[in-house]
Structure 1
Amino acid sequence: MHRIGYLLTDGFQMLALGTQSIFEFANAGLEQPFYQVEQYAMEAGGVRSSMGVTVSCKPISEAGRLDTLIVLGATDPLAMPAPANLVGFLREAPLWPRVAGICTGAFMLAEAGLLDGRRVTTHWAYGRILQQRHPNASVEEDRIYLVDGPVWTSAGMTAGLDMVLALVEKDLGNDVARTVAHKMVMHQRRSGGQTQHSELLQLSPKSDRIQNALSYARKNLHRALGVEELAASASLSPRQFSRVFTAETGQSPARALEGMRLEAARLMIEQSRHPLEIIARETGFRDRRHLREAFVRGFGVAPQSLRRESRV
């Protein structure tokens, strides 16, 4: 039996607790349950979530040896910092075989020194703050989740589901993880190297004209697209288009177009076996080298590294 302990503090996010459903469905598909999941806190009793729901917990001092400890974060880790006794416990306890922090749970792990010298992530809104407060950690603030040795960290909200599904895949294999994802009406998990944001969602233009131009660009990424062509799709002059586009999205058309190309290329790398030369051509990059340069600039990793990670 693989013992998993969820460590809760007041103000924890309910959605993070919902990741337990992944372990539940994993057990349901096996002849014998593999996971035993329990809630813990520093003291026995009820722990109040950010929504006001109280969850009964056992004292972590009585947990014994856990195979995986998962620390849940608070909605606002600045307003509700990690309790000193919890940080002390994490700092003094021997490292469990696997430790994970969902969302801002990374702050508690960092306070205890468990993230020193490791690549980690957290909710995008708190990534820079985590890095400033804990310079010995290497915070990659735009990743879905990261694995560095026995330490796993995820971004916020639904990214916790991706990370926990990856835990199941590591423990029980891809077939079990795929079955769990299907039961939970999830896509197969997003890879850890994936950006936390969708380029189109991040742009979020206000007018239909600019939205139409973005839709046109997305359908024609395989071609060279200039401002004149995009402006024509929005029924604007190139000058008007550039001005309105930048005002509504906060980006120039050229920068936004490269972001869309990168996102399309990332999806093809993760979800297909096409050679990088074909992916570069289909997403509008000049060649494989141009794709790699844009990837390193945009994601901090080479396309080959992302493909290896997604296959693992």
Structure 2
Amino acid sequence: MTCRIVFVVFNGFQQLDLAGPMAVFELTRLARPDSYSWRLAANGGGTALSSAGIAWPVQPLPRLRGDIDLVMVIGGDGVDAACRDETLIRWLQRAARAGARVASICSGSLVLAAAGLLDQRAATTHWSRSRQFSSDFPDVRLQPDRIFVREPASRSRPEVWTSAGMTAGIDLCLALVAHDCGEDLARDAARQLVVERRRPGGQSQFSPLLDLQRPEGRFGGLLDHVRKHLQLDHRVDELAARACMSPRHFARSFLAETGTTPAHAVERLRVEAARAALEGGLPSVQRIAEDCGFGSTERMRRSFQRLLGRPPAAFRKKGERDTQAA
């Protein structure tokens, strides 16, 4: 049965956010002609101007007659205005009530959140929008370290997929193809696109904590302390005391400031330090695990799999891996 998609755009949408997912579905349809169909729509129809200044012909938002299976909201610089577009917001709410699955690419998740479709649900977005997302939509369980998140349908709520950045939208769509049509078609589409299949949805975005290194950041000094003393036990109570705040206020303030939780930040810093040590050729994995605060190589392995999608051994220099294998 054909999955009928509506790609929703707006003035200022990001072309790659649209082109990557569309290419995944196009390649799948070439292999299986009845798999997907789609149309490009925006409030009012006519044309939608991308952030690159190119006008795309679009249809008006279609009437909801049960002939839409998936609504995918594209991201881009114009997302803030799209969040205030009451016609678009009401249309998305009706589409969800009509039973359509809902998805977003990159910052398009803010539009889904503005429509209330992510309340009390897990979601992700582009790392540069994490702080704004946490502040504007506190009822959403933001997972800033994920490249995509799938929330299954529940009761009267639709299935929702959200992705982090532009290329993460390709990962999300490959996962959708695997879900709808099987892993073989998803793997073939990935091969044609010359991309990895599959990057796990739990793989971390690499950029979210770059902003934490800014000296003017509210918690810059605290994170610098963590970075220099990774082997210590950096629980929330201890970090809150160092910041002279109550644990609850500290946790809320840290999330609003950085877009991630204290525990995720500490884990991220430990993984980054351990990865650098592995790539730098330090010989003892056990010593690296201890110095970086994991306590054991197994805990380090689980963190690497969760955040990077690969085990620590994958980050050894090739010659060292070959020597260990021998």
**Range into which the TM-score falls when normalised by the shorter chain:** 0.5 to 0.7
- 1:69 to partner: Cα distance: 0.6
What SS does structure 2 have at the residue aligned with 1:158?
helix
Decide whether the 8 Å contact of 2:109 with 2:124 is kept in 1. yes
Decide whether the 8 Å contact of 2:10 with 2:82 is kept in 1. no
Change (3 A) 1:176 1:92: closer
Question: Which of 132, 140, 143 is equivalent to 1:140?
Answer: 143
Cα RMSD between the aligned structures?
3.6
Q: What is the match of residue 172 of structure 1?
A: 181
Q: How does 1:25-104 map to 2 (within 5 A)?
A: 25-30=27-32, 32-62=33-63, 64=65, 65-75=67-77, 77-78=79-80, 81-93=83-95, 94-104=97-107
Q: How far apart in 1 are the matches of 2:207 and 2:125?
A: 17
Q: How far apart in 1 are the matches of 2:120 and 2:270?
A: 35
Corresponding position: 1:190 with 2:203: no
CA offsets, 1:164-204, max 9 Å, x none? 111111111111111111111111131110011179x999x
Q: What is the match of residue 258 of structure 2?
A: none
- 1:75 to partner: Cα distance: 2.1
Decide whether the 8 Å contact of 2:12 with 2:79 is kept in 1. no
Q: Tell me, which stretches of 5 or more residues in structure 1 are unaligned?
A: 204-254, 266-279, 308-312
Decide whether the 8 Å contact of 2:28 with 2:189 is kept in 1. yes
Change (3 A) 1:264 1:59: farther
Q: How far apart in 2 are the matches of 1:178 and 1:36?
A: 20
Instruction: Name the aligned partner's letter for residue 144 of structure 1.
Output: I
- TM-score under structure 1 normalisation? 0.66
Q: How far apart in 1 are the matches of 2:169 and 2:205?
A: 12
- 1:137 to partner: Cα distance: 0.5
- 1:82 to partner: Cα distance: 4.0
- 1:263 to partner: Cα distance: 9.1
- 1:261 to partner: Cα distance: 3.4
Decide whether the 8 Å contact of 2:286 with 2:297 is kept in 1. no
- TM-score under structure 2 normalisation? 0.63
Instruction: Name the aligned partner's letter for residue 261 of structure 1.
Output: A
- 1:282 to partner: Cα distance: 8.4
What SS does structure 1 have at the residue aligned with 2:79?
coil
Change (3 A) 1:46 1:79: closer
Decide whether the 8 Å contact of 1:71 with 1:105 is kept in 2. yes
Q: What is the match of residue 296 of structure 2?
A: 290
- 1:79 to partner: Cα distance: 6.3
What is the total number of aligned residue pairs between the two structures? 239
Q: Tell me, which stretches of 5 or more residues in structure 2 are unaligned?
A: 153-158, 213-267, 279-283, 311-326
Q: How does 1:259-270 map to 2 (within 5 A)?
A: 259=272, 261=274
Q: How far apart in 2 are the matches of 1:283 and 1:184?
A: 40
- 1:61 to partner: Cα distance: 3.1
Change (3 A) 1:183 1:76: same
Q: How does 1:207-218 map to 2 (within 5 A)?
A: none
Decide whether the 8 Å contact of 2:10 with 2:78 is kept in 1. no
Change (3 A) 1:87 1:263: farther
Q: What is the match of residue 5 of structure 1?
A: 6
Decide whether the 8 Å contact of 2:83 with 2:89 is kept in 1. no
Between the two structures, name the one with larger relative contact order (CA 8 Å, sep ≥ 6): 2
Q: How far apart in 1 are the matches of 2:163 and 2:204?
A: 12
Change (3 A) 1:180 1:264: farther
Corresponding position: 1:122 with 2:121: no
Instruction: Name the aligned partner's letter for residue 85 of structure 2.
Output: P
Change (3 A) 1:36 1:92: closer
Range that drifts further, 100-109 or 58-67: 58-67
What SS does structure 2 have at the residue aligned with 1:285?
helix
Q: How does 1:15-26 map to 2 (within 5 A)?
A: 15-18=16-19, 19-26=21-28
Range that drifts further, 77-86 or 9-18: 77-86
Q: What is the match of residue 320 of structure 2?
A: none
Change (3 A) 1:193 1:291: farther
Q: Percent of aligned positions with the same letter in both sequences?
A: 34
What SS does structure 2 have at the residue aligned with 1:192?
coil
Decide whether the 8 Å contact of 1:120 with 1:146 is kept in 2. yes
Instruction: Name the aligned partner's letter for residue 190 of structure 1.
Output: R
- 1:147 to partner: Cα distance: 0.6
- 1:56 to partner: Cα distance: 1.4
Change (3 A) 1:181 1:57: same
- 1:59 to partner: Cα distance: 1.8
